[in-house]
Structure 1
């Protein structure tokens, strides 16, 4: 689906931890129906930027606006209600709940709330959507790593977010699982989801992303299509060094 008009505006966002500037005056827009890659070396500020958008961290300065809602000072649950959902680098599922209950939590507390039988049926449809239809009755503790990731993704989708944040969702997968994961995210892309993708797997960046923003040492150093940014001299230096 062709990207539409911008719906998320990140403007001069800075995050300081004492004397450390983790994100330094970063600005970019995200368009509706767009998959945008947020890439850069380890420790460059990518996950901090995701945490600022989701509300897990508060910006020191700058502004983040989604469809007219100021996210910068809102509480995390308010950002979720405004339409931000996310997954994490380290999978976060609710081990004391069933698979359906894990997903129902996203439907009840997310952007578009559902209740009762409606949310139960919706949760089951999302579990099927991510490839867990045959495991709905299984224990959360019995899930493989990729299935835990699928469960977390289903919970993130349950709030029907305006913007879905995927923070290294493909990390830790074996080659077969990686292909499955890329195909799954690709199917979300084909549905017209708006996604910000933090990822180190360049095959995923090339095949999934409409545009990329590259961050290094907290600063944005490049923006453009995957082909443009991955051939940019500053980006190559950031990843590989001067040599």
Structure 2
């Protein structure tokens, strides 16, 4: 695939599970420093698409390229080393390690490898970045839910990813936590990071995203800026049904 100038290029991405087509010939690009929202009703294929990008799943057909180099069909650890970092719908931490050690793991095994004191110092900076430095030596069991999410984000950031995938990172937060979470992502956006955001919180989509791709039943049904996309009749129909479209 030729390098188009996009950080990520998805062409014809398809994933079948037996007779079920979870992602159906999806095409989109993500430009450098862009925050793209990947949205749609439950079961539309959003997380499957994130899994294809990160290597958790292999595509049945199509291709995915990072800065022009094909990454589809590479193992997940190789895709991470090439610069794709992600969070998960259900927070995945290393419970036997301290808060700091979790972030050091991200620094050691991420896109840019750091070791020893360099990795530790960088991990402290990432914890400070997400507001968790005071809990660096605490066990995972001491963390609240929002702090677990912050820790997972700090661990991903410690690997210096070129593309950050946030899969419903704001899900399950109370209103105060949600405001804090949106502010944190807004700050990451301000740093010029390239982000794909899977999210159901429309206030976050409106305030954070430059562009949106809307999925329904595995297909792309709309693409464009958040205001236009969320007013599209087909998008309203996908979310609310024919009577409300």
**TM-score normalised by structure 1 residue count:** 0.97
Write the distance in 2 (CA, Å) between the matches of 1:147 and 1:35: 23
The Cα of 1:137 is off from its aligned counterpart by 1.8
CA RMSD of aligned residues (A): 0.9
User: Does residue 10 of the first structure (1) align with residue 10 of the second (2)?
Assistant: yes
User: Does residue 94 of the first structure (1) align with residue 110 of the second (2)?
Assistant: no
User: Does residue 114 of the first structure (1) align with residue 96 of the second (2)?
Assistant: no
Gaps of 5+ in 1: none
2:42 corresponding residue in structure 1 = 42
Structure 1 segments of 4+ aligned residues over 4 angstroms from their partners: none
Query: When the two structures are aligned, how many residues end up with a matched partner?
Result: 240
Write the distance in 2 (CA, Å) between the matches of 1:130 and 1:40: 28
Write the distance in 1 (CA, Å) between the matches of 2:21 and 2:69: 26
Pairing of 1:208-219 with structure 2 (within 5 A): 208-219=208-219
The Cα of 1:68 is off from its aligned counterpart by 2.6
**Residue aligned with 1:16, SS:** strand
In the alignment, is the contact (CA less than 8 A) between 2:5 and 2:67 conserved in 1? no
1:55 corresponding residue in structure 2 = 55
Write the distance in 2 (CA, Å) between the matches of 1:170 and 1:70: 30
Range with greater deviation from structure 2 (209-218 or 97-106)? 97-106
**Residue aligned with 2:95, SS:** coil
2:202 corresponding residue in structure 1 = 202
In the alignment, is the contact (CA less than 8 A) between 1:69 and 1:82 conserved in 2? no
Range with greater deviation from structure 2 (143-152 or 64-73)? 64-73
The Cα of 1:34 is off from its aligned counterpart by 0.4
The Cα of 1:5 is off from its aligned counterpart by 4.2
